[in-house]
Chain A
Amino acid sequence: MREFDLLQPKTLNDALEALAQNNATIRPLGGGTDMLVDLRARRVQPDTLVALQGVNELRGVTRANGHLHVGASTTIAEILKNPLFAPFNALRQAASVFANPMIRNSATIAGNIGSASPAGDMLPPLLALNAQIELVSRNETRVMPLSEFFLGPRKTAKRADELISSIQLLVTSNQSPVSNPQSSAFYKLGLRQADAISLVSVAVWLERDGEKIRDVRIALGAVAPRPMRATRAEEILRGQIFSETNLKESARIASTECSPISDLRASADYRRRMIAVYVRRMIEQAWQHF
């Protein structure tokens, strides 16, 4: 590990000030579960780290105006514990197979997003739940859909002087004033059950209207340079009666939308087929859980 300076600001302002001042390589530090591994492997060699742990403004989960505000420093363990996450089944399912219980106690949601790994487990559920991300710097605060945040593997729309301050999830539907039932589901396929790098992962979100799927979002992990939405597969289902035929077709389309790679763990062909299997299974699961 190379040497670096460590800053431990107590306020968001101090943290942002540090980021704005420092033109050398400076990186935020969350729980450190990615950062420390990367530092040791020398994949990143920052001159300065800004530990965000002491910054209270980045903590906490609150519900207001139909939104859940999830502070950047929220750990994966908190997602499993805090009842405010109850409406977001996919997120909780992802958290429950995320690494292992000890890592979950350290790992933060902003760290998972900041790492922007195509296989990051929280990312497909957040995409399926249409999360918004809030970025702050000394001079501005901007909010964007998370789907616009990922530019490529480990590449994001975040500037070096910015921090992820929170994630926002819509609790009720914005499309209809009378909220329809919503449901979501997540699965990751690995070489074993948990704690494994996913071969593929799938998250879906459904809004139901009688026998119809009123709205749907399907997000895929580990099968493209970044976590992605399967928008064409969604089209097949949106506004339609829930049917076996539609489901199969949507699953098939999803498998053509992604662009998985072949590596020694699994072939692209297999990954594609698994996308089809799990898109179908997750939609069935979400539908059953209304």
Chain B
Amino acid sequence: MNLSLTINHEIQEIEIQPRETLLRALRRNGYFGVKHGCENGECGACAVLIDGVPMNSCVMLAAQAEEKNITTIEALGQVEEQGWKRTEGLDPLQNAFIETGAIQCGYCTPALILAAKALLEKNPQPNENKVREALSGVLCRCTGYVKPVEAVMQAIREPRVETGDLGIPVPLEFFQPPSSEISYDETPISSLQSPISNLHTPVSTLPQMLVAPTIPQTSIVGKPEKKVDAQKLAQGKPAFTDDIELRGMLYAKVLFSPVAHARIKRIDVAQARALPGVHAVLTHHDLPRVVYSTAGQSDPIPGPLDMFSLDDKVRFVGDRVAFVAAESEEIAERALELIAVEYEELPALIDMRDAMKADAIRIHDEAEYVNFGESDPSKNIAAEIEFELGNVAQGFAQADFVLEDEYIVPKVQQVSIEPHVVVTYWDEDDRLVIRTSTQVPFHARRILAPVLQLPPKRIRVIKPRIGGGFGGKQEVLIEDVAAHLTIATGRPVRYEYTRREEFENARSRHPMRVRMKTGVLRDGTMVANEMYALSDTGAYGCHAVTVTGNTGQKCMGLYNAPNIKFHAHIVYTNTPPAGAFRGYGVPQGFFPLEVHMEKIARHLGLDPLEFRLKNAVKAGDELPTSKAWSEGREPHPEVIETCGLAECVSEGARAIQWRSLQSPVSDSKRLETRDYPHLRRGVGVACVMQGTAIPYLDMGGASIKINDDGSFNLLVGATDLGTGSDTVLAQLAAEILGVPIDDILVYSSDTDFTPFDKGAYASSTTYISGGAVVKAAEQVAQQIKARAAQIFSDWAEKHGETDIPRTEFAQPETFPLIPDPRTLPPALRPNDIVLRDQRAWAPDGRSLSLAEIALSTLHHRDQFQIMAVASYVSPKSPPPFAAQFAQVLVDTETGQVTVEKLVMAVDSGVIVNPATASGQIEGGMTQALGYAVCEEMLYDARGQSVIRSLGDYKIFAANEMPELQTIFVQTFEPSHPFGLKAVAEIPMDGVAPAVANAVYDACGVWLNEIPLTPERVWRALKK
């Protein structure tokens, strides 16, 4: 049917099918600012304004929008300078989002901005609750909403934001030396907040910054610079994988197994192939049988090879059976229905506790299986890890008190709002281009090459902007589907998971059952600490060894007991495979460990904070577990050089208004009001640590070259998936090159153009890729200085004869003053030159602009390209440390836990960008909060997921958030040129135990299993 739609004030005649949603119709017509993350009305990424009212365009037929005014982000504003043309500039809201750091991956940004726009049209001065309410229809998995809310508030405060300022000012008073002594604030908690749970105290978007006096002065590093990609994301520019349409593109769909474990006896695709519009139907009969692992890790992959693109056996509900490419998704779906499969069902192994039983069915019996380490598919063991430092048996014998308990942590999902999506096509050189939403473009190329039977040189992987990953895209998960179909058809193919497929088929966090046994002396000295983890990797062993190894390596390394033991079995089950998820095994270990620590402290009557600090590692200590295990490779002992844990504990305690917790359950924790006799409030803590990259392994490369105008191209293989790494890397380069961040044009990443980088995982990008950027920038700086020194010296020799390039870039008044040659010193050395304010400065005050130097080297004499490539690998993985605090309110009649406030004080070394770093902390805490209280992937007895949508699997919305507070305790980590450590993963680690400990503090019950659903808490209270 023909439809006339008014889009952004223009009438468009478009041809649609009645069933076409407004979302599809808009994107098909080039309005790529309208995103999609579920197509079920749940995520809100597809928001548009209909007559000024925000609505989900995915649950509306295009025809329903006829005769209405449709507004998309494309109508809001454009960058002001468009060559010779000027526009009115960006909308104040867009500017505010850019300036407050409210944009992380940017995938939900257009929707958030539109929702805010609609609110402000109706109510120009909303309060914060109204703003949160208005934004609550749009789910954001990156930010924790602190900065988006602040952006709207800022847009109200300043109706017209001037452009060109330097980002968010960090008030000077925030730069204070850390207090050396621990002090607890004694302010009574009951004065804090209203008992009504959905009221919010005002947001504080800027983290508190504490600095060690040893940190050197910098001008760009340490500043909350605007994200380099924020401008395009605020405009909803077509920057993501799916935002292109290629001529003749086909749409892929996959037939997934309806049963948990079976052999495919027969598969008949004749009818599907015959369906008009279908271009390929592929089954295991059609594809080469190449065993591989989807885990995006360095070569050789530390894990078993146990998977095929398509196999004659299915191992979980949702395993792949056949691939289809057709002219539309509808035709592809129809084709799936026409495929007839006969399964020979096998017993399904769903519960991880059954996996190692003698009579358990064997999940991997394929001949091609490649073992790694202790994997033993005959026993359904994907990996086994064991290490012991000292002798725990002896330690327990010495102990005055030994506590043993079991803890259960669930399977949860990354839930990036942009689903997994890939577009593949042959280029004119018969090379396969894979445009994909990945965290690991280089690993993807290497891993896919054998699977596709193409040499790596005939594959090019392009990583555009990524709409969040959180580990879910550290997996070469769906690229092969589209690639096989492109090979089969010769046509471009697009493949994207639906949200349901994300839940049923994509990776998740390994669920574990963890036994803790800890022995302490009466004074609280820990003498032995032991952890056993049973970890469920699901049907395939991707990341099996490394995730669970980190559970032991990171968690058991925090407390410096003389006797430490870790043992883990990682078993196969007929459930969807687990994989990498922010924190990478470490949150699974810290929930048990930190609840266990709290129990011991309470039992012995010790202060929980002092007890922890007494046993925790300190600067100068050898990290106990560093010599025991390292990612399944050779371990190297490592000394901790910086540890701000004590300061984190004291600053965090101050912020949450911690008070001594003498009586385990006291009625004083009851709210002092008659109306709420059933409510109890409590606070809890957890101490945590993570790592920074994988030592001796993780490598990142960077290349920098100068352009005519003194700007630079920075090419990195590092994968910004919304974290802000492009920005932080640009800041490092800008600091060294003495230019504003705008002069660094960052590109990431493309296997054809950018140097190798292992990708975005292990909290490594700022440290590793940043190290490469620093090295490359230093070399480029050296080349600039050499030419500058040469030019300055030439003047002296030539008695004032100038070699000063006169170009349009150099304004007359900025010309260097030509000094009297008789006063000049003899030849300058490169190291005499300083780069600052886009100029190269001689000690005597003469200067040249970088544009002049660029023109000199590129055009005028002794021409060469100023450029350098460098790479970085670290012998260390310096741990960041943190104290995480939670304040909760428990409804003792219903078991509902409302988390009112989360505080995280973290030592991540020097913070390169407080805005992006605190964004990481806030977003990480929010994901961790879901882990603590509501996120859980559930399966029925047959292994069928009962989670199919974001309605079933709740992630936090803007109006449900507790207050979040971030404190950076900055140390200077000497192993890195700028003294930095990791930020990204550590916020995942401590929220769940802090919340569980706070629940105990509030009402005296221990919970050994997360999430703390109302019923779980209620049952514990009933006991």
Contact = CB atoms under 8 A, between A and B. Distances in A.
A106 B39 contact: no
A151 interface: no
B1014 A199 contact: yes
A141 to B, nearest CB: 26
A264 interface: yes
B896 interface: yes
Nearest to B197: A193
A36 B41 contact: yes
Interface in B1-30: 1, 17-19, 21
Given A101-B136, A189-B894, A194-B959, A6 B1015 contact: no
Interface stretch (B51-59, B170-178, B283-291, B913-921): B51-59
B137 A101 contact: yes
Contact of B63 (A40, A51, A100, A274): A51
Contacts of A8: 63, 66
A6 B63 contact: yes
Given A6-B1, A6-B61, A193 B138 contact: no
Given A4-B19, A36-B41, A100 B957 contact: yes
B64 A32 contact: yes
Contact of A36 (B53, B60, B330, B894): B60
A105 B55 contact: yes
A148 interface: no
Contacts of B136: 100-101, 194-195
A196 B954 CA distance: 7
Interface string B65-80: 0100000000000000
Contacts, number: 129
B954 A101 contact: no
B1013 interface: yes
A189 B182 CA distance: 41
A193 B58 contact: no
Contact of A5 (B18, B50, B137, B896): B18
Nearest to B39: A40
B638 interface: no
A1 interface: yes
A231 interface: no
Given A6-B63, A100-B44, A1 B957 contact: no
A103 B60 contact: no
A98 to B, nearest CB: 11
A189 B896 contact: yes
Chain B residues touching A, majority SS: loop
A143 B468 CA distance: 51
A102 B893 contact: no
Interface string A106-117: 100000000000
B685 interface: no
B351 interface: no
B21 A36 contact: yes
A40 B498 CA distance: 11
B810 interface: no
Interface string B319-334: 0000000000010000
State which size class the interface on B falls in: 35 or more
B63 A37 contact: no
B957 A194 contact: yes
Given A36-B21, A36-B41, A100 B137 contact: yes
A140 to B, nearest CB: 29
Given A103-B137, A193-B198, A195-B954, A4 B18 contact: yes
A2 B21 CA distance: 13
B41 A103 contact: yes
A244 interface: no
Contact of A274 (B50, B56, B134, B894): B894
B19 A102 contact: no
B819 interface: no
State which size class the interface on A falls in: 35 or more
A31 to B, nearest CB: 8
A192 B18 CA distance: 36
A53 B62 CA distance: 13
B115 A102 contact: yes
A1 to B, nearest CB: 5
A101 B958 CA distance: 12
Interface string B889-931: 0000110100000000000000000000000000000000000
Contact of B56 (A3, A106, A273): A106
Interface string B927-941: 000000110001010
A204 to B, nearest CB: 17
A290 interface: no
A270 B64 contact: no
A192 B894 contact: no
B133 interface: yes
Contacts of B53: 77, 105
B934 A51 contact: no
B946 interface: yes
A12 B55 CA distance: 25
A101 B56 contact: no
A125 to B, nearest CB: 20
Given A101-B136, A189-B896, A53 B954 contact: no
Contacts of A277: 893-894
A125 B271 CA distance: 51
Nearest to B18: A6
Interface string B129-172: 00001101110000000000000000000000000000000000
Contacts of B933: 192
Interface string B30-55: 00000000011100100100100111
B956 interface: yes
B951 interface: yes
Interface string A264-286: 11110010011001000000000
B841 interface: no
Interface string B956-989: 1101100000000000000000000000000000
A194 B138 CA distance: 13
A274 B946 CA distance: 23
B1018 interface: yes
A33 interface: yes
A3 B959 contact: no
Interface in A177-206: 189-197, 199
B60 A106 contact: yes
Interface in A5-64: 5-6, 8, 29, 31-33, 36-37, 39-40, 49, 51, 53
Contact of B64 (A3, A53, A105): A53
A39 B330 CA distance: 12
A238 to B, nearest CB: 25
A277 B933 CA distance: 21
B956 A192 contact: yes
A125 B1007 CA distance: 35
Given A32-B61, A99-B137, A103-B137, 18 more contacts: A6-B63, A29-B64, A33-B56, A36-B61, A40-B39, A51-B63, A99-B41, A100-B136, A101-B136, A102-B47, A102-B55, A105-B53, A106-B55, A192-B933, A192-B960, A196-B951, A197-B952, A267-B1015
Identify the 5 closest CB pairs spanning chains A and B, nearest first.
A102-B137, A6-B18, A100-B137, A36-B59, A264-B938
27 contacts: A1-B330, A3-B18, A6-B18, A6-B61, A8-B63, A29-B64, A32-B59, A32-B61, A37-B40, A49-B18, A77-B53, A99-B137, A100-B44, A101-B133, A102-B56, A105-B50, A189-B896, A191-B934, A191-B954, A191-B1013, A191-B1014, A194-B957, A194-B959, A264-B940, A266-B1015, A270-B1019, A273-B1018
